[in-house]
């Protein structure tokens, strides 16, 4: 039965919507109020505080810690100095992505791997013959995501002993919040300026209270997963088992995806000194090219509106990300070439956007496609075009 995270004593009284989402055995607020828009606005215009404690956290340490990490991720662990973080996929022997997540280098022989779904057994399997210890610290570490243009100001005022103002993108440092030792990372899932705060689970409430109180003058707002989901689509970030299917649960080989198909080829370091699981398959994939790509699409407004007006209706666009896949066709009545996996009306961009998986020959930027829409219970096709992601990425994200 799902339970509350270490922050549940604070988030439960705030969740007036009673909308909770199950995540890895926990319940986390989908939204705190009936309308998600104020929470989304905090991400893009102020500061949002998001409970991401259900993430799995695995400490990897020992003489062969680097060797194990290099074996299971496509990135190059040997190039990571202490204090660095990488975002990376990890693959099966056939080059299909099991998951993607972040890896922290804590020390010369010490790493922390974070994932949305369990990966302990995979780490243990690949650790055979290596001098390494793997510890599941998921329940010991509470995690908050502090995102938005005011996040740096809030954290700098609340945290002590940390160089928040100079912390680089995808780096981490140690500090304290209200006397609680914390790890602060320049990471997040919103495509905006932001940080993640990792604290002892048994002192999580002290950290929450300090951040909420310190963030009050900066309009800090507790934010649920729905608003973060809108932001991640605008950022062009893929979501596990939504925009791609993990190779662990794929029912047929065609459902699996490679890093190159997901647009994560930049995180595949084929020339590193230690070969990762799936190396040979990834080399072959790079040489022949992926057979499909995850792309951004923008649905044309006027034709979509016309389809609804013909039925005497106004367009009913999803204000929250819709995760029900719909077919994508070659423009002008062509055959199906893929599917839209997530779509949403972007309040910020005033555009109907989505992430789609399409055949490689139709993945070029500017290409025309049709997306299936249902108008008055009738399936129709709305014109759209392939666009480059991210849809939105402010300079402050990396500044």
Cross-strand partners of 89 = 100
**CATH number of the domain bearing residue 360:** 2.40.30.110
Q: Which residue has the tokens 């389809």?
A: 307
Q: What is the mean pLDDT of residues 245-253?
A: 97
Please tell me the pTM assigned to this model.
0.96
pLDDT in tens, 47-62: 999 999 999 999 999 9
Rounded-to-integer distance, Cα 112 and Cα 196, Å? 14
Please say if the pLDDT value at position 379 is more than 90. yes
Average confidence (pLDDT) over 146-172: 98
Same domain as 19, residue 150? yes
Looking at the predicted structure, is the pLDDT value of residue 193 above 90? yes
Is residue 289 predicted with pLDDT exceeding 90?
A: yes
**Same domain? 107 vs 142:** no
Gap between the Cα atoms of 374 and 390, Å rounded = 27
pLDDT band at 354 (very low <50, low <70, confident <90, very high): very high
**Lookup result for tokens 């650790």:** 127
Find the mean pLDDT for residues 154-178.
97
Q: Percent of the chain having pLDDT more than 90?
A: 99
pLDDT of 279 reads 98
The residue among 118, 65, 389 whose CA lies nearest residue 248 is: 118
Q: What is the pLDDT of residue 349?
A: 97
Distance CA 274, CA 287 (A): 20
Across residues 82-89, what is the average pLDDT? 98
Same domain, 320 and 386: yes
Predicted local distance difference test score (pLDDT) of residue 316: 87
Let me know whether 97 and 155 are in one domain: no
Any idea what the Cα angle at residue 216 is, between residues 156 and 34, rounded to 5°? 125
Give the separation between CA 191 and CA 165, rounded to whole angstroms. 19
The pLDDT value recorded for residue 17 is 97
Confidence of residue 1 (pLDDT cuts 50, 70, 90): confident
The last residue of one of the domains, among 232, 267, 288, is: 288
Note whether 74 and 286 are within 8 A (CB).
Answer: no
Write the CATH number for 266.
3.30.70.1400
Looking at the structure, tell me whether residues 307 and 378 fall in a common domain.
yes
User: Residue 2: is its pLDDT beyond 90?
Assistant: no
The rounded distance, in Å, linking the Cα atoms of 194 and 188 is 6
Q: Same domain, yes or no, for 64 and 22?
A: no
- How many C-beta atoms lie closer than 10 Å to residue 352's C-beta? 21
∠ Cα 244 248 252 (to 5°): 70
Would residue 241 count as lying in a domain? Answer: no
Work out whether strand 326-330 and strand 336-346 pair parallel, antiparallel, or are unpaired.
Answer: antiparallel
Q: How high is the mean pLDDT of the chain?
A: 97
Q: For the chain, count helices (H), then strands (E).
A: 9, 21
Q: What is the pLDDT of residue 333?
A: 87
DSSP secondary structure, 284-346, as one string: HHHHH--SEEEEEEEE-HHHHHHHHHHTT------SS-B-S-EEEEETTT--EEEEEEEEEEE
Q: How far apart are CA 323 and CA 355, in angstroms?
A: 10
Could you give the CA distance from residue 363 to residue 386 in angstroms, rounded to a whole number? 7
The answer to whether residues 131 and 263 belong to one domain is yes
Same domain, 316 and 335: yes
129 plus 163 within the same structural domain = no
pLDDT band for position 219 (cuts 50, 70, 90): very high
- Round to whole Å and give the CA distance between 291 and 82: 37
**Position 365 confidence tier, pLDDT thresholds 50, 70, 90:** very high
- The band of 235, judged by pLDDT with boundaries at 50, 70 and 90, is very high
Above 90 in pLDDT, residue 346?
A: yes
User: Domain for residue 302, yes or no?
Assistant: yes
- For 371, the domain range is 292-390
Q: Which of 145, 154, 156 is nearest to 46 (CA)?
A: 154
Q: Which residues contact 335 (CB under 8 A, 6 or more apart)?
A: 329
The tens digit of pLDDT for each residue in 107-134 reads: 999 999 999 999 999 999 999 999 999 9
> Do β-strands 3-4 and 26-31 pair in parallel, antiparallel, or remain unpaired?
parallel
Whether residue 199 sits in one domain with residue 267: no
Question: Which pLDDT score, from 0 to 100, does residue 260 have?
Answer: 98
Count of structural domains, the chain: 3
What CATH number did the domain enclosing 201 receive? 3.30.1360.120
């Amino acid at each position: 039965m799902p339970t509350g995270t270490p922050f549940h004593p604070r988030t439960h009284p705030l969740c007036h919507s009673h909308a909770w989402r199950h995540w890895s055995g926990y319940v986390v607020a989908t939204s705190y109020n009936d309308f998600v828009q104020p929470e989304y606005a905090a991400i893009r215009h102020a500061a949002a505080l998001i409970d991401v404690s259900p993430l799995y956290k695995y400490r990897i340490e020992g003489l062969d810690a680097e060797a194990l990490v290099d074996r299971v991720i496509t990135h190059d662990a040997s190039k990571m100095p202490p204090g660095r973080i990488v975002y990376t996929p990890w693959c099966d022997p056939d080059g299909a992505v099991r998951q993607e997540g972040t890896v922290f280098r804590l020390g010369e022989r010490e790493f922390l791997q974070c994932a949305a779904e369990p990966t302990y057994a995979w780490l243990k399997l690949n650790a055979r013959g290596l001098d390494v210890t793997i510890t599941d610290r998921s329940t010991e570490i509470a995690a908050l995501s502090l995102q938005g243009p005011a996040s740096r100001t809030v954290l700098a005022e609340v945290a002590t002993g940390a160089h928040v103002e100079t912390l680089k993108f995808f780096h981490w440092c140690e500090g304290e919040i209200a006397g609680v030792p914390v790890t602060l990372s320049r990471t997040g899932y919103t495509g905006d300026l932001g940080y993640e705060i990792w604290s002892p689970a048994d002192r999580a409430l002290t950290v929450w209270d300090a951040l909420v109180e310190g963030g009050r003058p900066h309009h800090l707002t507790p934010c649920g997963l729905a608003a973060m989901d809108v932001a991640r689509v605008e950022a062009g970030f893929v979501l596990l088992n939504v925009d791609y299917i993990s190779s662990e649960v794929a029912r047929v080989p065609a459902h699996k995806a490679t890093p190159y198909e997901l647009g994560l080829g930049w995180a595949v370091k084929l020339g590193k000194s230690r070969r990762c699981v799936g190396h040979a398959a990834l080399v072959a994939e790079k040489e022949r090219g992926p057979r499909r790509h995850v792309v951004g699409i923008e649905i044309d407004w006027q034709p979509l509106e016309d389809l609804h007006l013909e039925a005497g209706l106004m367009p009913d666009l999803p204000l929250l990300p819709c995760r029900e896949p719909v077919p994508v066709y070659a423009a002008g009545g062509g055959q199906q070439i893929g599917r839209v996996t997530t779509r949403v009306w972007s309040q910020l961009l005033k555009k109907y956007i989505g992430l789609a998986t399409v055949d490689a020959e139709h993945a070029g930027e500017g290409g025309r496609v049709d997306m299936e829409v249902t108008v008055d219970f009738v399936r129709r096709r709305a014109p759209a075009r392939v666009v480059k992601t991210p849809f939105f990425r402010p300079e402050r994200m990396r500044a």
